[in-house]
Structures are given as C-alpha cells and as structure tokens.
Amino acid sequence: MAPHFDLPSFGVGILAQTALLLVGRAILSSLKTSARFRADNTPHPSGLKVVITGGTRGLGLALARQFLALGDDVVICSRHAEAVERTVSALRDAFPGAVVAGVACDVSVPEDVDRLGAEAQEILGGIDIWVANAALRGLARADLVHTSPGDIQAIVGANLTGSLLCARTALKIMSESGCKGKFFLMAGRGSRGDATPKNPVYGATKQALVQLSASLAASVQGSPVSVHLVSPGMVATDLLLPLADTAKSARLINILAEEPETVAGWLVPRLRGATGNGGYLQYLTIPGALFRFATAGRRRNRFVSESQSRVGAGFTRI
C-alpha cells in the first residue's frame, strides 16, 4: 500500500521551515548590523559637551535629560525661542548646577546653524557630541500629489538641509579643535529604502541620510572625528502618534513604539561610548520587533486607543 501523503501538513511544514529560515536570516542580519556599531562600555567621565537639535520636546528633550543626568553639559535648540526658554528653565530646575543652555535656531537656515555652533562652542568650551535630531514629518499623511510645495520645502529643509548644515558646522568645529568629536544623524521611516507612500518626502529625506552618513564617515576617516547613524525606532512623540489614523496603525504603534525616556535611556550611554567611525546604532532590532509581536497581547492600548476602527476617527494618546 502506498504511503499516505498529507498535502496540507506538508505545506504547513514547508511554511514553518521557511518562516524559521527567514527569522534566522533576520536575526543574523540584525546582529551583523549591530556589530557595525561599537561602544566602549567602561564608565565615561562626566562633563562631555553635547549639542542636541530639536531638543525642546520628544526624543530630543529626553536625550538632553539623560545626558544631563550623567553629568554632561548640554546646549539644545529649537525654532521657537519661547520653547527654548521654557525648556532650559525646566532643565535647570531639574538639574541644579548643570551647564544647560538653549539657542533659537532654524536648522534649515545657514546663518542660524553657524550661530548655534558658535554659541554652543562659547558656552560649552568645545563640542564632543552633536546629535542632529531636529526633523519634520508634515502635518498630514498624503501622497506626493497632495503634498503642498510649502510642506515639501519645510520637510526637506529640516530633515536634509538641516542635517547637512549641522554636519558642516559640527565637523568644522570638531576638526579645528582636534577633539574626538562624534556627530550623529538620525534615521527614520524610509531609511532602509522601504516605501512611504503617505509621506514620500519624509521617507526620501531619511533615505538620503543613510548616504550622507556614509559619505561623511568616509570624509573624516583617519581623523579623530567620527560620524554615525542612529535608528531610534518608533518613539511615542507628536511626530508619530498622529499616524494612528486606523485601528491597524494604532495597533502597530502600541506594539512597536516606546516612550522617549526609554529610548533615550538606552541610546545615551551608547552615544557617549561610541568608538570607531561609520557606525549604525539601532534601538528596535528585528529580533526585538519579533518579540514585541509575540507579546502583543499585553501591549494593547499602550499609547493610543484601538477601539475605533474608521480612518480619521480621532485616535488620541491615552
């Protein structure tokens, strides 16, 4: 009698093997990516001189607080002078005696960035770390046809032009001072070349930063200065949460996003201890994302309500 061949079971087995293979490849790829970024885990002395653009809210503010908590000196910037003054005052209250200052600066304006660099250098006495964190996503999710020319210019100005201008100023200051300065660019959705049809301008600027990071790292190779790319993952800020416009997107954000303070707490020690040049530091790795999906049940409604199901239903932070 011929052996029974169970086609459905065979198919399930093949699918399971394929899934395991893909997961294994993803983990290996993630490990290789992480290996590109090296950090010295030994304690570093306090008093590093740090500049953070977009430092009055969200991840930028959380980074500033974490650097200050470790005893570093920090200069933040924002386009809005009132926000800078308010944030600096709050940080000084939270960290008495700390060196913390702010500069009103639009990173898309060359003169503003030059002034930021000059004032930061004067206040801090040098610059050890510059985090180019300032970014714009746009006010609405839209394809390119429905994105206004003004939004295109603003997003490109903040994300790409701003990164170029900050890099130009930071690398000039660091190179002339001879310090082991570290410049960090911030990756985002689109950096890996994934499609961002509802925000193509943002995605294009973030993909461009990957190339920019590689070019800058090559340009400073052999010098004390280094350039690195940082992927903070999904951070629960006002840049991300408006994207929760459907039940599905709300669910994904609740599964994958983290509070700015959590991300900053993980990033800052690694930014301070970064060694080498041309590194890529990734907070949300593929294995980490797989774990989050595997434990998705306990992540429901963490940041936004998943109870509404229609587009534009007004998903808001819980």
Select from 315, 314, 312, 310 the least CA-distant residue to 257.
Answer: 315
What is the 8-class DSSP label of residue 2?
Answer: P
Select from 57, 31, 93, 56 the least CA-distant residue to 238.
Answer: 57
Q: Which SS3 state, helix, strand or coil, does residue 231 take?
A: strand
What does the alpha-carbon distance between residue 129 and residue 46 come to, in Å, rounded to a whole number?
13
Does 283 qualify as catalytic in the annotation?
Answer: no
What does the alpha-carbon distance between residue 24 and residue 287 come to, in Å, rounded to a whole number?
9
Spatial CB neighbours of 15, under 8 Å, sequence gap ≥ 6 = none
CA 255 to chain centre: 18
Tokens of 66: 């974490």
Contact 61, 90 (CB under 8 A): no
Q: Which residue out of 202, 283, 303, 315 is catalytically annotated?
A: 202
The angle formed by the CA atoms of residues 141, 266 and 117, to the nearest 5 degrees, is 75
Catalytic residues: 202
